[in-house]
Amino acid sequence: MSWFSKFLTSSVGKKLIMSLTGLFLIIFLLVHLIGNLQLLADDGGESFNMYAKFMTSNPLIKMTSYGLYFFILLHAIQGLLIWSKNRASGGSKRYSGGRPLSTWAGRNMAGLGTVILVFILLHMWQFWFQYKWGEVASATYDGVEVRDLYEVVRHAFQNVGFVIFYVISMIVIAFHLHHGFQSAFQSLGLNHQKYTPAIKAIGTAYSILIPLGFAVIPLYILFAK
């Protein structure tokens, strides 16, 4: 076995893949949220629709998005493989008469991650697939005709059941992020009393603020528009 495949298939290497893909997805969430916040603008969807057009036509962003799909799949598949290996290690057995000292999120990353994966698949079908191949009305701004994604989103967020599912998914992401953020640095080998308290504090803030930012949008559209 070459040194590279030996590294990647070792328990330490597998976690490094989880860490690096996880950090990429953490950064992606911030970029995605900044884009989504344009849904709150009171301009009939113009800024959001122009942004959607830009994001789907710029070649550099297109390339990055293929990387994103790959990293989501890699993170999910690798995570489930580690989960199955860890179960086989026999650690999942519960002891009687006491409760474990680890956090609930830490012990249930695979379950939380699976919920997020289902959410992502639905999310891709509902917005990404519809935008690219579905029947979407057009909107024209200053003579430029674009597909009206804003209307698709607004319509989806009128559905109370979907908004509830969306908000619950954001809570799941919050827990996943809360463990994952600091965990990513630990797996990279970065744990030191100089900076680990800061990483943990930033991770906690990030895991609350980002999902909260996402959850505010459907709630705002449902109740205010």
Partner 1 sequence: MKLNLKVWRQKNGQAKGGFETHQVVADEHMSFLEMLDVLNQDLIIGGKEPLAFEHDCREGICGACSMVINGRPHGPNKGTTACQLHMRSFKDGDTIHIEPFRAASFPVIRDLVVDRSAFDRIIESGGYVSVNTGQAQDANAIPVEKNQAGESFDAATCIGCGACVAACPNASAMLFVSAKVSHLALLPQGQVEHENRVQSMVTQMDKEGFGACSNTYACEAECPKEISIENIARLNRSYLGASLSSK
Under the rule (CB under 8 A), what is the footprint of partner 1? 3-4, 6-7, 10-16, 82, 85-86, 88-103, 106-107, 109, 179, 182-183, 186-193
Tokens of 191: 């744990």
Judged by beta carbon, residue 38 or residue 182, the one nearer partner 1 is 182
* Residues ≥6 apart with Cβ < 8 Å to 221: 39, 153, 154, 157, 158
- Least distance from C-beta 73 to partner 1, angstroms? 19
- Closest approach, Cβ 185 to partner 1, in A, equals 8
Shorter beta-carbon distance to partner 1: residue 12 or 61: 12
37 with 217: CB under 8 angstroms? yes
Rounded to a whole number of angstroms, the minimum distance from the CB of residue 118 to partner 1 is: 21
Of 118 and 190, CB closest to partner 1: 190
In the complex with partner 1, which residue's Cβ is closer, 3 or 223?
Answer: 3
Q: How far apart are CA 49 and CA 150, in angstroms?
A: 6
* Least gap, CB of 202 to partner 1 (angstroms): 16
Residue type, 155: H
Q: How much helix, strand and coil, in percent to the nearest 5, is found in the chain? A: 75, 5, 20
